């Protein structure tokens, strides 16, 4: 799973720094950078935190759908 492009795209689209996203996902900046560079695959917990941060579904975050809505 290559999320590096998606993570960077979201971060730039929303005007966030790597530090801001990393803090929200409760990971270090270096770890978050490794996600963006495609060196490390994030855990489910991190994916959930980042999807919540951007208020999108995990499926949208990882590119499985074009629909950003969260179904509750």
For 9-59, what is each residue's pLDDT tens digit? 889 999 999 999 999 999 999 999 999 998 999 999 999 999 999 999 988
Model pLDDT, residue 2: 64
Within a domain: residue 40?
Answer: yes
Number of structural domains (the chain) is 1
Whether 68 is in a domain gets the answer no
What CATH code is carried by the domain that includes residue 37?
1.10.260.40
Total-model pTM: 0.84
Q: Does residue 4 carry a pLDDT above 80?
A: no
Tell whether 71 is covered by a domain. Answer: no
**pLDDT tops 80 at residue 70:** no
27-59 in b/e form (b: 16+ CB < 10 A) is: beeeebbbbbeeebebeeebbebbbebbebbeb
């Amino acid at each position: 799973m290559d999320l590096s492009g998606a993570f960077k795209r979201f971060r730039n689209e929303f005007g966030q720094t790597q530090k801001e996203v990393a803090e929200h996902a409760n990971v270090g900046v270096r770890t978050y950078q490794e996600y963006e560079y495609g060196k490390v695959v994030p855990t489910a917990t991190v994916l959930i935190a980042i999807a919540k941060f951007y208020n999108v579904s995990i499926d949208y975050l990882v590119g499985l759908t074009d629909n950003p809505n969260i179904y509750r």
